[in-house]
Structure 1
């Protein structure tokens, strides 16, 4: 199943109720709640309140978008407790704060393995943000990271998010997704070009149609579900979400 949703960080300027109202009116099904504004780590009362309001709006919690950097930050206990209070099935974490070239991988891998074990005991999955300046900055480094954590945990447990690498040609981005697909849980959907210029999702229709086809085939062949979450809309404008969500839903349900 491919679930269309929204990252709450798309609209940091809105409160949680504003995010829920926009997402529901746009026909989306889920929200990834960010830790930076809407559901701060350690604020369990807010997490429980947002969980109840999300359900009341007819939506589900896709994940908890934390800013925990493995091997750099302490405080995963607060992150995990907040995710549990929120009812999030998954926590997004960051693989350190250095790119893979020359980075010391051991502290990051060790911390990720510990986070995966602790989260699994609480029935929560952990997924790494796909981002430059971390150990997920390349496909090769991401695959190695997953293997390294697997070796410590003793089973494939850590997942990864995917989003198109900045300025990567469509074919290269799709190759990255195809390679990472067996371990990809969540996709952040946006269209940047050139650089981080925010354009309508439809401006990269070929990329996204092919990416969604890969996700759909993976679901059919292997029974894996994926959340596809709108993020980084042009101008951070609430008025464009209906259009962006309509585009995404049309692609997900041809």
Structure 2
């Protein structure tokens, strides 16, 4: 079983200030926070990034930066602004979106896919100069919306500093989830964890504990060699109490 530590995506609590999110993560016994670039730590807001990083350091929490840079729609200049915030945050990893957000991978022609791969490769190389890895969101309506497209993209990028995230589509059957991680697992850095049904209703993570235990146990060895985080993303009713329950469930899953 690949070893994951529990974390939190700050986008789970858009309405809470940075300090409150750090306190929640610390109370929940988590190991890391991925800070949202469209909510808590915007690109170019270096003072805010440093504040979040300092608070996390005091609480013993590692950091990742969840940017919404979407190459090739967003170019290297947009990435550099996000990278500046990631550096100020002290983040070891920056997440980006592959392709134009809200666009299915099947709509891309060969030239567009090549442009996306070239752009991401450039971003991976630039981040490497700062000791920061780049990971691609694994999400519907992106160039990683199918396992086949994700594998094609990561092969085209062909850069050892660019990795994949993994998360299930809402309602994804266990058998299909296992097939996906078997394919993309060798490139996976971190995962986003939630319990949604096919209609995107949010459930307690305990309702999907066996699902996640099975998937994480089946995750194959990865070329990723640093700390790995399974990060909670969204909870029922955006409720901090529900989050604390889900965090306890996640810790139990990862412990056994």
TM-score normalized with structure 2 length: 0.92
Q: 1:222 to 1:84 in 2, by over 3 A?
A: closer
- Residues 91 and 139 of structure 1, relative CA distance in 2, 3 Å threshold: same
CA contact (8 A) 1:174 1:207 kept: no
Q: Does 1:72 align with 2:80?
A: no
Superposition map of 1:1-254 within 5 A:
1-61=3-63, 63-74=64-75, 75-97=78-100, 98-103=103-108, 104-150=112-158, 155-215=159-219, 218=221, 225-254=227-256
Give me the whole-angstrom Cα distance separating, in 2, the residues matched to 1:49 and 1:157.
27
Q: Is the contact between residue 71 and residue 108 of structure 1 (CA under 8 Å) also seen in structure 2?
A: yes
- Match of 1:64, SS state, is strand
Residues 159-194 of structure 1, C-alpha deviations (whole Å, 9 max, x = no match): 011001222211101210121111000100001103
Mapped to 2, the partners of 1:91 and 1:187 lie a distance apart of 13
Q: Aligned with 1:218: secondary structure?
A: coil
Q: TM-score, normalised by structure 1?
A: 0.93
Distance 1:13 1:222, change over 3 A: closer
* 1:46-100 CA distance string (max 9 Å, x none): 1111100111122121x10000001001311101111111111111000011221
Structure 1 stretches lacking a partner, 5+ long: none
RMSD between aligned residues:
1.6
When the two structures are aligned, how many residues end up with a matched partner? 247
Q: Which stretches in structure 2 are left out of the alignment for 5+ residues?
A: none
C-alpha spacing 1:248/1:43, structure 2 compared with 1 (3 Å): same
Q: Bigger CA drift: 225-234 or 244-253? A: 225-234
* 8 Å contact kept, 1:35–1:64: yes
Kindly indicate whether the alpha-carbon contact (under 8 Å) linking 2:33 and 2:61 is maintained by their aligned counterparts in 1.
yes
Structure with more of its chain in strand, by fraction: 1
Cα 1:59/1:113, change in 2 over 3 Å: same
Distance across 1 between alignment mates of 2:36 and 2:107 = 30
Contact preservation (8 Å) 2:83, 2:127? yes
Structure 2 Cα separation of the partners of residues 224 and 77 of structure 1: 23
| Whole-angstrom CA distance in 2 between matches of 1:137 and 1:223 | 25
